[in-house]
């Protein structure tokens, strides 16, 4: 059975809907996701439709009528039916000119590339689907202790949002799979945090390979970086502080505590994991490399 995903397109002339409908349906025809497209011609109609239907994604053309001067955009993250939706913004303006409620959205400057827009939509839908899937946690781990997929989703969303802010928009998520927590990390620049709740303890790791890290740090430092150096490696702490900082508010709402990120530099690094731990890794591809999100679950230590 396919998972239905409702997508609201706020577009007054049907161009966006016509642009994405055929290629989106074609690319997802053999997937487990079934997109449902709903169009609103302006901000007022978008507000009305979002009162009556829950949306998983909202695509906004900021030039449509009755949008920027109405309440829909400014309350989009507080309305019941759009508060959990992923937002894509298409605008003639710069991202810095958008209202605060849209600043963390995936942003495209007009004219938008159809391929880039479709890739972004499919990436978001895949993240939503895999995050909600019951088998995203390896069966061996699920029998002993549960990883709250909401925590994983929060980190995935924060990572892609922050990378997009740094200009890395072509991020594609691969298939999650088991990974031994005792094996070396696959990246060269990594960051780890410990996390704990009443039902889970373990750690999260974001690990960048050389290509993906240099891609991010080049945009961050506004200067092309071609090699890993002591100076640019220091930026990983700032990048991952921003990522985990973005995810923290959502994660703590689920009763999960997290430590300050610890930076690991160099290939072949390992993170100590208790005996009996189990791991899951989600690979991501960028325009110039790969990075990896690893979740390690350890047996809960019960206090007598």
Q: Distance between CA atoms of 37 and 20, rounded to whole angstroms?
A: 10
pLDDT given for residue 247 in this prediction? 80
- What is the per-residue pLDDT across 100-121, written as a single tens digit (0 to 9) for each? 788 778 899 998 888 889 888 8
- Helix runs in the chain, H state only: 15-28, 43-52, 71-74, 114-132, 139-142, 149-165, 210-221, 230-233, 235-253
- Between these two residues, 249 and 207, which has the higher pLDDT value? 207
Are 147 and 210 within one domain? yes
Residue 255 belongs to a domain:
yes
For the entire predicted model, the pTM comes to 0.51
Residue 88 has pLDDT above 90, yes or no: yes
Q: Is 40 helix (H, G, I), strand (E, B) or coil?
A: strand
- Domain, as residue range, for 40: 3-125
Phi, psi of 279 (to 5 degrees): -130, 155
The answer to whether 148 and 202 are in contact (CB under 8 A) is no
Helical axes 114-132 vs 149-165, angle rounded to 10°: 160
Are 185 and 105 within one domain? no
Q: Distance between CA atoms of 236 and 256, rounded to whole angstroms?
A: 23
- State the pLDDT confidence band at 178, using cuts at 50, 70 and 90: confident
Are 147 and 253 within one domain? yes
Q: Distance between CA atoms of 66 and 264, rounded to whole angstroms?
A: 49
Residue 130 belongs to a domain:
no
H or E element in which residue 191 lies: strand 189-196
Residue 74's domain is classified under what CATH number?
A: 3.40.50.2300
Are 254 and 114 within one domain? no
Q: Is the previous residue joined to 111 through a cis bond, with omega within 30 degrees of 0?
A: yes
pLDDT given for residue 78 in this prediction? 73
Average pLDDT, the chain: 80
- Between these two residues, 48 and 200, which has the higher pLDDT value? 48
Residue 10 belongs to a domain:
yes
Q: Distance between CA atoms of 50 and 80, rounded to whole angstroms?
A: 8
**What's the domain count of the chain?**
2
> Domain end: 65, 93, 125, which one?
125
Residue 178's domain is classified under what CATH number?
A: 3.40.1550.10
Are 143 and 121 within one domain? no
Are 149 and 283 within one domain? yes
Alpha carbon of residue 259 to chain centroid: 20
Q: Judging by DSSP bridges, how do beta strands 106-109 and 86-91 pair with one another? A: parallel
Residue 137 has pLDDT above 70, yes or no: no
The answer to whether 86 and 124 are in contact (CB under 8 A) is yes
Are 155 and 280 within one domain? yes
The greatest distance separating any two alpha carbons of the chain, rounded to the nearest whole angstrom, comes to: 65
Partners of 174 in beta bridges: none
- What is the per-residue pLDDT across 11-68, written as a single tens digit (0 to 9) for each? 988 889 999 999 899 888 877 788 999 999 988 898 888 888 999 999 999 998 888 7
Burial 63-75 (b: 16+ CB within 10 A, else e): ebeebbeeebbee
Residues in the chain, how many?
304
Alpha carbon of residue 41 to chain centroid: 28
- State the pLDDT confidence band at 9, using cuts at 50, 70 and 90: very high
Are 64 and 88 within one domain? yes
Q: Is the previous residue joined to 108 through a cis bond, with omega within 30 degrees of 0?
A: no
């Amino acid at each position: 059975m396919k998972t239905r995903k409702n997508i609201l397109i706020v577009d007054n002339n049907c161009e966006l809907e016509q642009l994405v409908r055929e290629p989106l349906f074609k690319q997802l025809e053999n997937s487990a996701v079934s997109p449902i497209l709903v169009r609103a011609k302006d901000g007022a109609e978008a507000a009305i439709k979002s009162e009556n239907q829950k949306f998983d994604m909202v695509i906004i053309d900021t030039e449509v009528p009755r949008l920027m001067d109405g309440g829909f955009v400014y309350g989009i993250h507080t309305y019941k039916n759009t508060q959990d939706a992923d937002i894509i913004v298409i605008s003639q303006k710069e991202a810095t000119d958008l209202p605060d409620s849209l600043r963390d959205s995936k942003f495209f400057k007009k004219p938008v590339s159809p391929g880039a827009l479709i890739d972004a939509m499919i990436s978001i839908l895949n993240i939503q689907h895999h995050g909600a899937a019951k088998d995203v946690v390896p069966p061996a781990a699920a029998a002993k202790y549960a990883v709250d997929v909401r925590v994983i989703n929060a980190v995935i969303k924060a990572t892609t949002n922050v990378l997009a802010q740094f200009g890395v928009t072509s991020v594609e998520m691969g298939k999650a799979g088991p990974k031994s927590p005792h094996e070396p990390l696959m990246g060269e620049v990594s960051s780890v945090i410990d996390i704990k709740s009443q039902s889970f303890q373990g750690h999260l790791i974001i690990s960048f390979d050389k290509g993906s890290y240099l891609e991010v740090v080049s945009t961050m430092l506004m200067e092309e970086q071609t090699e890993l150096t002591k100076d640019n490696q220091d930026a990983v702490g700032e990048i991952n502080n921003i990522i985990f900082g973005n995810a923290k508010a959502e994660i703590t709402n689920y009763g999960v505590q997290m430590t300050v990120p610890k930076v690991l530099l160099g290939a072949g690094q390992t993170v100590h994991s208790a005996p009996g731990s189990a791991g899951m890794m989600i690979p991501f591809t960028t325009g110039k490399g790969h990075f990896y999100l690893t979740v390690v679950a350890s047996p809960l230590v019960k206090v007598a």
